[in-house]
Amino acid sequence: MASMDGITPTSTIQSDYDQDLTNGAVDLSKTPSSSSSFSGSNNLDSAISSSSPRSSTPASATDSYQDSQAIASNSDTPNHIQNRIDNAEESSLNSNASLLTVAVAPQPDVIDEKSTRTGYVYDVRMRFHSNVHGDQDHPEDPRRIWKIFDALKKNSCISRMIKVPSREATDEELGYVHTTEHINSISSTPDMPLEDLLELANSYNSIYLNNTSAFCARLSCGSLLELCNAVATGQVLNGVAIVRPPGHHAEPDEAGGFCLYNNVAVAARYLQRQHGLKKIFIMDWDVHHGNGTQKAFIDDPDVVYCSIHRFDDGSFYPGDPVAAAHTAVGEGAGRGRNINIPWPCSGMGDSEYIYAFHKVVMPIVYEFAPDFILVSAGFDAAKGDHIGENLVTPSAYGHMTHMLKSLAGGKIVLALEGGYNLESIAVSGLACTKALLSDPIDALEPIIPNEVCVQTIHEVMEVQSRYWKSLTPMYIDPMDEGVSLSNVVELAKVLGVYRTEFLYQRHKMLKLPLSNPTYQTDFLDSVHTTGEFCARTLGASNILRPDKSVLVDSVAQYVDRIVASNNELIDIVIPFQPATEDEKTTLKEKSTELLTDIWDNYAVITGDQRRIVLLAVGFGCHCMVSFMNERQKDVTRLVSCAVLVPGEDEVLPMVTKRLSNWYMENSFVVVSDDHPAWERTNQKLNSRSGNLVRSGKPLEKLSEQLLNLNNTLFNQIDDKLKSLPPFPEDQHESKPIETFMDVLSSISEPRTSEPSTGVANSAGVHSRDVAMPPRQQQLSTPSSYQNFQESLARISSLHSSLSQSSPGIGSNNGPLAPSATRYSSSSPISPPSPLVDRVSLTTGNASQRSQPYPSLSSRSQQQQQPGANSPSLSIHQYDQYSGSPHQRELQDYSPRNQSQQVYSQRQSTQK
């Protein structure tokens, strides 16, 4: 239906239009002039004419039809519409006749027998708006509307519908939403040379223009107004507007996103001003946020705008991280009238959209009780659309339409917005139209929304419950009640104190001081739970019931077993499960930097006869593998094995090709029996993903998997350690060697009593029988910093003694040699920061989102005997849980790897 260069020939458009009049639509010319089933006059054309102004029409229908034929006769040779118009002008046709207007079918005296039928508006002339500036494969293809109309015609829908005549919108109607300057700017394009058109188009965001674009934009908007008029006056029950160019990105003062005028926004104002309808509900399910529509009604209490769109932390078009977020609720009198449901990633399908409708959209629509419903029906979230990359099926679109049409007395109009896969847009539009016609809707698959969707909806309800009583439980913010900040204690702080006390009392573990002050401040305490915090709240609010809320720590058993086996432990907690690719990248980079710092400053220099085991869980697996890729030589020399439990993550982390052989032989990656990894046949991919082992069960929650795998994991570790050669007997013939725990614990003062505050305010290493001084004294004064420097000197001395007492240790050729040669900075180490004021880790990942940094603790025996078991470096990530807010905004962070300074300090001390 299109020429090879992407421009639809006028002859083809005329042919399509002729078919529309004769074969597709209701043959209005054969409708009887009167009918016994009607009382009074129901002339659709006269009703529309009397209720709204029309733009000027050609002198005669015959002239305009001849004009179209003249254009068509020249359509085989020119490539662009402008050339066809120029050729038509050379034919000396009537200059007063519009070159863009084709014959209009005669209008009937009355409508066919019932006003309970669905109306539609479609005009082939809207296809004249096309791209003439180079890229002929533009996604906003003129064939989009024809594909939908053709699908309706072939499936016997058009024959059961009422065709509403199209028309152009007037300046007055466009002025309901748009500024005079914007209207004049678009209206000036018919006479512009192509060069000026290109310059004007480039001044907007994602717009193309030709000399017919202004006409098509007016026709698109005016046709929607005509259909809304027919529905509002009861001449048709509901309707679908097959129009283009789309409109929801057009703001009051500028075009954008393929949109020139905001069709739906103008229609909402038209219904309010011309028909006296007060409350309008606008549902926008286009995959892009309708920034123009939102801006038009940002402070209007009588128009509710609800958008379900892909957000990606504000990086997805139109790319506004504030206006498109779930926290954008409107302004002034319109607060609460703007509802954004922003998906943080692609891949959302039927389950997610239907879930959003049932949890948010429909309760709000019922409570708002609108007089009219407008739908910005973009189909770029449909399965197969390469721009939206979502998975919504025609069935889901049909069900959403069916749910909406049950309200507002059935007064609902769907207006086409986006959708760029011609096949997807056709079947999706067909499904919506069938729903308007009350045809049976195809059944959906079982609705099981993913966790990202559930969390997103939870956040939306948390914000919107302040404005809509139907959204329960209602979120109560103490800040809204005027509570003083001094009287507010975060649950994260309460649980952080518990964890500090618990780890000390149970295992004598203290916090580990870090060389980088940024780490000391940002990697805050965390409740060590890869399990779940099961929160129970009151039914009408989100107030927590502490007597019914419990913490299930599935990792505690691992800590217990590691300590009971006389091992040393450095425990690092990843605070949340990232939702978007940007979050994953940011968190992985920060965690990798922290892991590398700990490795360089503690694990390597104290790894004399110790054999290190790496244990990672959840997203921590990605961080651990990234760290191993950074320290490949050290890892292959010092690490006995790496155990990874990725859980529900479908994408397994992969090491570099250089490390793949070692990783395959020394890793233990536990995945569920139905994990997608088992479907892969690429052996190279499998080797880089490690030694995959079936968990013996289908996909389950990470916490459940950890509880079930306890014995299995440790048996694998024990088997691996037993296979290693024994340590030489002569490595401990000298006096007992001071461990790094002995050195670091000396920073603290001896415990004189057992006050809980001594543990809660501690900072540094978790060590047996040692208590930390109060926070004001801990690593915050010059004397404390002096002690820290002296401790580092003792660590260096320890490392030096190990080098002298054991062959190869401390040398570049030995099996445990640190990688000191890669650091050359001579700058002094920065003083550690005092203990942070906020103990942050809460009971799970959701409320910890605003703290994207791991917290860590360490535990060591005072003496490590020859042949003792391996220490382990473990990294964990929180699982999902209910009852806490979820914030994805990451704090600003400037990575600074100061391990160079640490090594320089040690080298200086040794010298």
As to burial, measured by CB atoms within 10 angstroms (0-12 exposed, 13-18 middle, 19+ buried), residue 704 is: middle
As to burial, measured by CB atoms within 10 angstroms (0-12 exposed, 13-18 middle, 19+ buried), residue 332 is: exposed
Q: Active site residue: 249, 289, 399, 675, which one?
A: 249
In the block, residue with structure tokens 């286009």: 286
Amino acid at 812: N
Q: Return the closest-CA partner of residue 201 out of 190, 191, 188, 210.
A: 210
Contact 663, 655 (CB under 8 A): yes
Phi, psi angles (nearest 5°) of residue 242: -90, 85
249 is known as an active-site residue = yes
Angle, helix 213-232 to helix 44-51, in steps of 10 degrees? 110
Question: How far, in Å, CA of 202 to CA of 254, rounded?
Answer: 12
Question: How far, in Å, CA of 812 to CA of 820, rounded?
Answer: 9
The contacts of residue 585 (CB under 8 Å, 6+ apart) are: none
Structure tokens at 233: 């006056």
Question: How far, in Å, CA of 568 to CA of 343, rounded?
Answer: 42
SS3 120: strand
Question: How far, in Å, CA of 161 to CA of 164, rounded?
Answer: 9
Cα Rg, the chain, nearest whole Å: 35
Question: How far, in Å, CA of 814 to CA of 788, rounded?
Answer: 29
Contact 515, 902 (CB under 8 A): yes
| HSE (side-chain half, CA atoms, 13 Å) at 104 | 19
Question: How far, in Å, CA of 628 to CA of 642, rounded?
Answer: 10
What distance separates the 2 farthest-apart alpha carbons in the chain? Answer: 115
Helix, strand, coil percentages for the chain (3-state, nearest 5): 40, 10, 45
Q: Is the peptide bond before 318 cis (omega within 30 degrees of 0)?
A: yes
Q: Using DSSP bridges, classify how beta strands 412-416 and 238-242 pair: parallel, antiparallel or unpaired.
A: parallel
Question: How far, in Å, CA of 168 to CA of 54, rounded?
Answer: 7
Question: How far, in Å, CA of 587 to CA of 853, rounded?
Answer: 7
Phi, psi angles (nearest 5°) of residue 736: -55, 130
E strand spans, 322-407: 338-343, 372-377
Question: How far, in Å, CA of 700 to CA of 648, rounded?
Answer: 7
Question: How far, in Å, CA of 313 to CA of 587, rounded?
Answer: 15
Question: How far, in Å, CA of 768 to CA of 858, rounded?
Answer: 10
| HSE (side-chain half, CA atoms, 13 Å) at 764 | 33
E strand spans, 72-188: 118-122, 162-163
Catalytic residues: 249
